[in-house]
Amino acid sequence: MPGPRAADELGRKRTRVRRTAADPHVQPPHRLALVTAAEARAVLQGFTALGTEQIAVAEAAGRVLARDVRAALDLPHFTRSYMDGYAVNASDTALASPARPVQLHVVGTVEMGHPAPCRIRRGETLRIPTGGMLPPGADAVVMVEHTCELDDGTVEIRHAATVGEHVMRRGDDVRRGEVVFRRGRRLRPADVGALAGIGTSRVSVHRRPRAALIATGDEIVPPEVTPGPGQVRNVNQYALRALIAAEGALPLDLGVLPDRRPVIARALARALRDADAVFVSGGTSVGTRDLAPGVIAALPRARILVHGIRIKPGKPTLVARVAGKPIVGLPGNPTSALVIFELFGVPLLRLLGGEPPGRALVPRRHVPARLAAPVTSQAGREDWIRVAVEDEADGDLVARPLRGGSGEIVSFAHADGLVCVGPESAGLEAGARVSVRLLG
């Protein structure tokens, strides 16, 4: 697999699209210079994380850490109980049992948010709630279910406690100075709670990528318009904008553009000025009205890195670097566009958002399943099959291939995930064990 630099050299050889004298909005046909899917993924690694900013921990869910976070104090910072019950010296309960309980003198109660009121001596105990501070002299907690408090100020202990039972000691969770989260981690809601728990109020994170989205095509109409002959509704723009937002990026929707070079060029210039990445839907193939490759190639400091991938769906995918920023040209067919965004757009946004390549390029969620029906493929290319995932009576998951071509959006919407047929294979048999890359 070539590295980013080698893949960049591939881009130097890409065909430049030239205007014809007859019609500036028509380009002469040319062939795609196909690369493998692995080579295309390697190209993505040439794009690095964006700059950093300091934000409040309360706003950090979904953001990627730019620096390691270390604990500023022990957690917990005092030894405490994690059960409601009685704080005891374990040796006082050594002979206790349900049949022969041991009686201890109750000398008070540990209140939440306050230090223990006193040290317990041999034969004494304190009532203690979950999270209460363990008093000096105690080394265990007996759950309230194993006790019976009497009216004479004593409690029957019906369980022989062991040292440390139901006790969380100072620093058991994390020690002061210990690395809690490494840079490159995308913070989850539970992580935000952990950061608050160690006293971290602000963190350094990578900027959220701003992703511009452009659709091209004279045939595209808004959802509220009934399409006429040859027209289609604007499926891609709506779906891709939602996918960009779902990845934690900030979508910049530049609308649907006609197939006119100057209009596309102006929109791309604005997108490169205002965004960190650009996604162009439609016009990326080799037809006479596929203008995007030529317009992109003509931009200042532009280099086409990939134009054509041995993959289905999504063969005419384009990846370019313009003034240091990525442009991804997505096919116009809805299913092709959404599959390619999942396979290449999502990893790109994760890389820009700060995730390391080893994490950004790996599917975040996948499940093993059994293929319900055979699928055919073409050796030498990577095929991605849409599947619905169903539960079997024996508890196994079954991946059922879905029918439909590249233009069928409803079929894609019913897919739970994608199954890859590698380039070395001509298909998969029914019953084959597969890994399903989950969607949504």
Confidence label for 195 from pLDDT (cuts 50, 70 and 90): very high
> What pLDDT does residue 410 have?
78
With respect to residue 397, please indicate whether it lies within any of the assigned structural domains.
yes
Residue where a domain terminates, one of 151, 183, 206 = 206
**Strand-pair category, 417-421 with 318-322:** unpaired
Separation between Cα atoms, residue 397 and residue 370, nearest integer Å = 6
DSSP assignment of 416-437 = -EEEEE-TT-SEE-TT-EEEEE
Q: Which helix (H) or strand (E) holds 366?
A: strand 366-371
Examine the domain organization and report whether 251 and 212 are in the same domain: yes
| Band (16; pLDDT cuts 50, 70, 90) | very low
Confidence check: pLDDT of 109 > 50 = yes
Residue 415, domain extent: 366-438
pLDDT band at 389 (very low <50, low <70, confident <90, very high): very high
Q: What is the DSSP string of 247-260?
A: TT-EEEEEEEE-S-
* Secondary structure (3-state) at 25: coil
Amino acid at 403: R
Question: Which tens digits make up the pLDDT trace of 69-101?
Answer: 999 889 999 999 999 999 999 999 999 999 999
406 pLDDT exceeds 80? no
pTM: 0.83
Does 75 reside within a domain? no
DSSP state at residue 144: G
Q: Are residues 279 and 341 in the same domain?
A: yes
**Predicted confidence band at 413 (pLDDT cuts at 50, 70, 90)?**
confident
- Decide which of 283 and 14 is more confident: 283
Beta bridge partners of 325: 322
Predicted local confidence at residue 271, as pLDDT: 98
Q: What mean pLDDT comes out for the span 378-397?
A: 92
Confidence of residue 393 (pLDDT cuts 50, 70, 90): confident
Average pLDDT over residues 29-36: 80
CATH number of the domain where residue 108 is located: 2.170.190.11
335, 246: one domain:
yes
pLDDT band at 17, cuts 50/70/90? very low
What mean pLDDT comes out for the span 100-112? 97
Residues 279 and 320 occupy one common structural domain: yes
What is the distance between the alpha carbons of residues 434 and 399, in angstroms, rounded to a whole number? 8
- Number of domains composing the chain: 4
* Residue 11, pLDDT score: 46
Spatial separation of the C-alpha atoms in residues 79 and 72, rounded to whole Å? 17
> Do residues 427 and 343 both lie within one domain?
no
Residue 404: the pLDDT is 72
pLDDT for 30 equals 57
Neighbours of 47 (CB within 10 A): 22
- Angstrom distance (rounded) from CA 385 to CA 388: 10
Say which CATH number the domain at 423 has. Answer: 2.40.340.10
**Which residues, 6 or more positions from 362, have their beta carbon under 8 angstroms from its beta carbon?**
none
Q: Taking 80 as the threshold, does the pLDDT of residue 29 lie above it?
A: no
Indicate whether 346 and 426 sit together in one domain: no
Model confidence at 21: pLDDT above 70? no
Q: Which helix (H) or strand (E) holds 8?
A: helix 4-12
pLDDT in tens, 300-344: 999 999 999 999 999 999 999 999 999 999 999 999 999 999 999
Domain containing 13 — which CATH number? 3.40.980.10
- The pLDDT mean for the chain works out to 91
Distance CA 237, CA 278 (A): 13
- Candidates 413, 417, 383; CA nearest to 399 is 417
95 burial (CB, 10 Å; 0-12 / 13-18 / 19+) is exposed
- Work out whether the CA dihedral 91, 97, 102, 106 comes out positive or negative: positive
* Predicted confidence (pLDDT) at residue 357 exceeds the cutoff of 60: yes
**pLDDT recorded at residue 286:** 77
Nearest to 280 by CA among 215, 374, 187, 346: 215
- At 437, which amino acid appears? R
- Give tens-digit pLDDT for 247-291: 999 999 999 999 999 999 999 999 999 999 999 999 888 776 789
Residue 132 and residue 239 in one domain: no
Of 310, 322, 248, nearest in space to 280 by CA: 322
Give residue 15's pLDDT. Answer: 37
**CB crowding 158-188: b at 16 or more within 10 Å, else e:** bbbbeeebbbbeebebbeeeeebbebbbbbe
